[in-house]
Structure 1
Amino acid sequence: MFRTKQGRRRGPALALLAAASLVLALGGCSVDTVTPGQARGEAGSDGGGAATDGRAASPGRAAAPVDCAKAKCIALTFDAGPGKDTPHLLDVLKEKQVPATFFLLGSKHVERYPQVVKRIADEGHEVANHTWSHRILTDLDADEVRDELSRTQEAIAKITGRKPTLMRPPQGRTDGTVSDVSRELGLSQVLWSITAKDYSTEDTALIRRRVLEQAHGDGIILLHDIYDGTVPAVPGIIDELKRRGYTFVTVPQLLAPGKAEPGVVYRPEKEDD
């Protein structure tokens, strides 16, 4: 079984976190995963973690404190953009004061829409890496994985001035090689627990219903801002989840006061609300 390792010395709290982590079988290899609650618990047991990482930065406004150990938090994430509908999505998020995490593709997306990438960052959303060309990383050797991730790192940094610290492997497929390269590049891996499978339908009502049926505290929602039915579903998803008492946060805010560790795989465990 593959277990996440750090090149530097890990403290006792991190060892406890790893011991408590879930095991996820992906890419033909068992990879330990860590839940948001475990990340927060590890930070608490280590006596560290300031509230700054848990400040929910609503787009266009100053950050407000949020404690996801107490609040019913949920993270809205978008893969494989930006695309033609991303500016409208950003308008929706700004209007509803909801932060999100965008896992961006390099080829034909970041390179095609640099001003949209800049806007995502400027409006307080988390900018993350979804590889350069969406190749399945578990099918590649270490050099190819490195190329897929590092090219997108550099392209985003050129636009925003900052390299991402989070990445999402295409199809959620990861293994020891992917984790080792991610650690080398300073990237944590983020999976999900709620998906509308919006790549398979343009039915906005169905996308909305699938998300709402699966929603849970500490959840991470996976959507794609490149499909026609997805962005129109977002306002209804936000409104209903707010009505149910959810607080929207970015992935780093969901983990706070813990911080995402490079190479580690983060994945929520669904719980009944």
Structure 2
Amino acid sequence: MIVPARRLAALGVLAAALTACGTPQAPPAARPAPARHTVAPAPVHPQPQPQPPTLAPGPAGLTPVFTHGPRTPDRTVALTFDADMTAAQGARAARGEHFDNPALIRTLRALKVPATVFMTGRWAEQYPAQARGVGRDPLFEVANHSYSHYAFTGGCYGLPTVSPHRMRADVERAYTAFREAGVEHALPYFRFPGGCQDERALKELAPAGVTAVQWDVVSGDAFATDADAVARQVLDGVRPGSVVVMHCTRSAAPATERAVRTIVPELRRRGFRFAKVSELIGAATARH
């Protein structure tokens, strides 16, 4: 059949259109994404810890010694507890002797009594969870009682002695033990084992930058079994600004927790307010 020229032309146009529709087209050139302006997150800075108050060095640059706070009418008193354990008592702990006193800590919390715990490094190693719990509780503060609980002078209640060139290292080893147990903010306060000190010990510790903290009220709780006698001794001795020394060691001070349950309400009845040692030192420095 002969197709007229006009129809041929129309068919040609249609075929061209169909061919064009079936041919893949090159994609349009990709356009660059618009610039996005992001805000970098603000850097996270840990909150700085306030610097605890310390005393200025004593005469000839010796370690300063603090025994009590100001004798002011506000009737403030600090209860302090020595968590004693010598470097050689690990075997006794393994046999079941308790150098900790969790019941005492629970009682202090229940009574809402702020306190300062002078801890040996060896105690922190033996009871890391308890050391960490005390160190993180805002009711308490942790200070240094040496690593080994060896004496820093001769003739100190039969304790072994630390040689002079090892005194500073013993204190610094305790701080290391605290950090490893999770106690992050142990204070720069040091209590001599047995309370025994002399000029040589104060000189050897001067580079450590600590304030030595002693006391003016002896509780008599060491090895005591009569809680009432311990309580009477504390109540008879306390004055405004007093620092009371007690112990956080079940085996060596079994009556302490019971004595505290008598001491605290009676001192409150007399108008006393409980404070940490750092508060008393801060009050003392503010007066000078």
Between Structure 1 and Structure 2, the one with more strand by share is 1
Alignment of 1:65-214 (within 5 A): 69-81=72-84, 85-107=100-122, 109-124=123-138, 125-139=140-154, 140-158=162-180, 159-214=182-237
CA distance in 1, matches of 2:186, 2:222: 28
Given residue 169 of structure 2, which amino acid in structure 1 is its aligned partner?
A: D
CA distance in 2, matches of 1:160, 1:33: 24
Aligned equivalent of 2:6: none
CA distance in 1, matches of 2:61, 2:203: 9
CA distance in 2, matches of 1:72, 1:78: 20
Alignment of 1:239-250 (within 5 A): 239-250=265-276
Larger mean CA deviation between 144-153 and 71-80 belongs to: 144-153
User: Structure 2 unaligned runs (5+)?
Assistant: 1-57, 86-97, 155-161
- CA 1:244/1:95 → structure 2, altered by over 3 Å: closer, same or farther? same
CA distance in 1, matches of 2:103, 2:144: 21
Aligned equivalent of 1:231: 257
CA distance in 1, matches of 2:150, 2:283: 33
Q: TM-score, normalized by length of structure 2?
A: 0.64
Task: State the structure with more CA Rg.
Answer: 2
CA distance in 2, matches of 1:34, 1:87: 28
The alpha-carbon deviation at position 126 of structure 1 amounts to 1.5
The alpha-carbon deviation at position 246 of structure 1 amounts to 0.4
Q: TM-score, normalized by length of structure 1?
A: 0.68
Given residue 275 of structure 2, which amino acid in structure 1 is its aligned partner?
A: V
CA distance in 2, matches of 1:187, 1:33: 9
Given residue 184 of structure 1, which amino acid in structure 2 is its aligned partner?
A: P
- Tell me the matched-pair count: 206
CA distance in 1, matches of 2:178, 2:229: 33
Given residue 149 of structure 1, which amino acid in structure 2 is its aligned partner?
A: V
The alpha-carbon deviation at position 85 of structure 1 amounts to 5.0
Contact 1:76 1:101 (8 Å CA) reproduced: yes
The alpha-carbon deviation at position 148 of structure 1 amounts to 2.1
Q: 1:78 aligns to what SS in structure 2?
A: strand
CA distance in 2, matches of 1:4, 1:120: 34
Contact 2:68 2:216 (8 Å CA) reproduced: no
What is the aligned-residue RMSD (CA, Å)? 2.6
The alpha-carbon deviation at position 84 of structure 1 amounts to 5.5
Contact 1:99 1:250 (8 Å CA) reproduced: yes
Given residue 147 of structure 1, which amino acid in structure 2 is its aligned partner?
A: A
The alpha-carbon deviation at position 37 of structure 1 amounts to 4.8
Given residue 153 of structure 1, which amino acid in structure 2 is its aligned partner?
A: Y
CA distance in 2, matches of 1:155, 1:85: 16
CA deviations over 1:196-227 (Å, ceiling 9, x no partner) = 22124211111111111111111111111212
The alpha-carbon deviation at position 32 of structure 1 amounts to 7.6
User: Structure 1 unaligned runs (5+)?
Assistant: 8-30, 39-67, 261-273
The alpha-carbon deviation at position 142 of structure 1 amounts to 2.7
CA distance in 2, matches of 1:135, 1:34: 21
